[in-house]
Structure 1
């Protein structure tokens, strides 16, 4: 039995809520896999019958299992869920995708497909409108990149570029659903998310209910369930924001964890009896500092033959002139030699499938020629590409450590 993965969560929740899931393209979770997962997780009965009660999937941005376990004394509700999960599949944990970053992970959750299939392979990538044939005299610059969170600038249509159907696009109401039933699924989060680039790429197909305050979201979820919506996706981003700005060990992060815990207690109190709640996260986080910051412009041997830099400081994507495989292999070898134990893995685009899943056309058009996953709490920054705020950010993620890759998978029932 394989360990639970983030790509299974939304699909399993959908079929567990009694919704029909159509099969998607190659690389996406199948309906049969979703049903098997739902049964394994107790969302369907032994006879493969869906439980008629609704399901709420709570996605807490930036809440790694390691962080939750270390700070569980401040979260009595989640601490109880952790204890209950000890005997469940995965023991209350799941793996996120590579890289362990929001754009990649939310799309993996939303589509049931890995980043190699969706093309959502990092915080930012080389803009597909630019092409890969960059000459040797090109200097890395922020304008080369497409941010897969904001989709600002010369961006392609996110629906067309990320064309793997979402789980929301693949579901339909049960055959006996009332004709006047509200949509089979809703998403809940900040109002600005409606129609955003990342929403269109990762989570399109569900009606969005805007709630800028975390405390307002449980009520919206309860109201939707009482109206007959079987599946609710509820997003919490406050911990991730606090971690990026102050570090996850800060009092600011802890305050947001306490708010989350209170919100989850309120959610269970307000939803209809029998409602199942699945709580997970897109990634964890590590805290870094200036002593563990490598400035690419100060290392000529690392900067040589690098004509563009994307990804994130914990999972850099490097582009070489004309995407030449020999140049990429040479750059990868230099980075391994120079960085030594400060890196967990350095690979070329040809080696990336083992990490991000089989690589489709979208990923192949933008993925770095060299990928660099940092160890411990090291980061690589480039002031020509990264803003001063991004460089100084204490809380970071994207790499392959347990603190970033292992996320909670907790279940509760009202």
Structure 2
């Protein structure tokens, strides 16, 4: 762990020092290359504006692909190409600076726009005023487990397995070919992996679901444990280099069921370290090359991941103090929106673990029956409540 941290610090220092070195030692070409390192295409904007725009568009597309599928090489390729083009074709002639009259109205416009945006966001969070924030409420829910996207489907099956409620429908949904196809495509695009088991590295939600339902053979189980131990957080990545909070929690629980103690212990430490609560929210991801955690979990992901972790004894109940108001807000809005329905179900998991009768009366009112992942979370909440119900004297629970 310490060696990994040292390598990450060296890599971070090298990345930060590179543009400074180009600026100080690279001359005019180095300055243009440094600009394109920070903003792809900026170094060639004066000489070839169309090319600069092209680099910008490619950088945005590569960034989206990197964040979703771990294709970091694509972003590196775009940045390096933009730097090389800027160093080669960056204009050495710059127009003389001219004095412009100050526009004192502009700061006022910014202040007014910020005030309007704040008011719009505040009103939009009040039940009945979602239209103010331009939120579209989707009345239609995916009600069939097989129709969920592959990642959410794997999460739903994993949660159901943790509650001991795996059915033939769950196994069939997990065996659908699109899950393996997605993993194979990401492995090929991000790391040029061809053939073999598409789940041999990364893909935490799919492997967690397979492990919890008995879908991994001995060799695949060994690969899962080995892959988890290579990661400082003790779990496999969701996609190459990306460890997601909910997926990591499911993977750690699967490893615990398999009898591994290293992965769950590391993950519990991570929930108190790089993935600890910040300003009421858990980071949504951890990037392995630099050991950086950032983003913000969706409320339902935050609630589900921390409830599962609290059930296991990895964290205390401090997260509930941050989630309570959001869960109550979702219960007031009802289960029309998918994310609200999932948050209500995850909130019920928390309420099975903490003593909060006032919140329980409110959160128990909405019906959770549409989204299959929300239904799985709700079933798990009932499982927790039943497991903690007092045993009648002379009877059975």
User: Which TM class, normalised by the smaller chain length?
Assistant: under 0.3
Structure of greater Rg:
2
Q: Which has the higher strand share?
A: 1
Q: When the two structures are superposed, what TM-score results if normalisation uses the length of structure 2?
A: 0.28
